[in-house]
Amino acid sequence: MAVQINPSILSADFARLADEAEAVKGADWLHVDVMDNHFVPNLTLGVPIVESLSRATDTPLDCHLMIEDPDRWAPQYVEAGAGSVTFHAEAAAAPVRLAREIRAKGARASMALKPATPIEPYEDLLPELDMLLIMTVEPGFGGQAFLDIMLPKIRRTRELISRHGLQMWLQVDGGVSAETIERCAEAGADVFVAGSAVYGTEDPAATVRALRAQAERVTAGAAWACGH
């Protein structure tokens, strides 16, 4: 699978989460933004809601933990039903141990980098991860403008993944839309989170399909996309 589109429920109606999951049927994953009002200046949802949501939808949950002390909390999101759990490099005390624990519990392990965090110090950790998330906004809120200055980091990360011969996914999150998705795909991203660009439209499922088609047109010829 070369391209994946993960709608973010941060832009959905939190009182109707099961319906909002249904509204993006056909999406690869549902992106669930967990914010604790400490790591980021916003508060969203936690383990009990992830547990309910995982029972309410067949779409697998991609939990993005914008929280302090993920070493303590991330395993609980796997137990709650998340298929993929992303912790922040800036918050994890022992990222290798945490990634191994997430995998051992049966989920995909992923690590996120805020815009000011470089990929280079984490090069040797890449084999421990199933996905790397590059934030293309400062984490904390939906609906922010895409940061073009992150494109070189996406490119450098794709090169590192290729150089190490890894099959891991490269996710971008923040300001991804019809206007920006092609730039991300050209730089080497293959998993795209989109919140406002999906839930802000009349037909969110059709928007997911359109975004996927746009990204697929770009990645079709990319050497790194072969064999996905």
Ligand X SMILES: O=C(CO)[C@H](O)[C@H](O)COP(=O)(O)O
Which residue ranges are tagged as binding site for substrate?
8, 64, 140-143, 173-175, 195-196
122: left (phi over 0), alpha (psi -120 to 50) or beta: alpha
Stretch 46-65 residues interacting with ligand X (CB under 6 A): 64
Residues in contact with 1: Cβ distance below 8 Å, sequence separation at least 6, in sequence order = 28, 228
- The region of 49-57, 136-144, 148-156, 212-220 touching ligand X under the rule CB under 6 A is 136-144
> According to the binding rule CB under 5 A, does residue 64 interact with Fe ion?
yes
**Residues labelled catalytic:** 33, 173
Q: Judged by CB under 5 A, does residue 33 bind Fe ion?
A: yes
Q: Quick check: 194 binds ligand X (CB under 6 A)?
A: yes
Task: Answer yes or no whether residue 196 interacts with ligand X by CB under 6 A.
Answer: yes
The residue written with tokens 């996120």 in the block is: 112
CB-wise, 33 or 190, nearer to Fe ion?
33
| Alpha-carbon span 216 to 220, nearest angstrom | 6
Range in contact with ligand X (rule: CB under 6 A) among 3-11, 46-54, 99-107, 153-161: 3-11
Q: How far is the CB of 71 from ligand X (least distance, A)?
A: 20
The 68-107 contact track toward ligand X, x by CB under 6 A, reads: ----------------------------------------
Among 28, 29, 31, 192, which residue interacts with ligand X (rule: CB under 6 A)? Answer: 31
- Our finding on whether 88 is near Fe ion (CB under 5 A) is no
Structure token digits, residue 39: 């790591």
Cβ contacts of 94 within 8 Å, gap of 6 or more:
71
Residues whose CB is less than 8 angstroms from the CB of residue 124 and which lie 6 or more positions away in sequence, other chains included: none
Choosing among Fe ion, ligand X, none, which partner's interface includes residue 143 (Cβ < 5 to 8 Å by kind)? Answer: ligand X
**Taking phi first (over 0 means left), then psi (-120 to 50 degrees means alpha), and beta for anything else, what does residue 21 get?**
alpha
In the beta sheet, which residues pair with residue 5?
Answer: 192
* Helix residue ranges per DSSP H, the chain: 17-22, 47-56, 70-79, 95-104, 151-163, 181-187, 196-199, 204-219
Q: Which residues here bind ligand X, judged by CB under 6 A? A: 8, 10-11, 31, 33, 64, 66, 137, 139-144, 173-176, 193-197
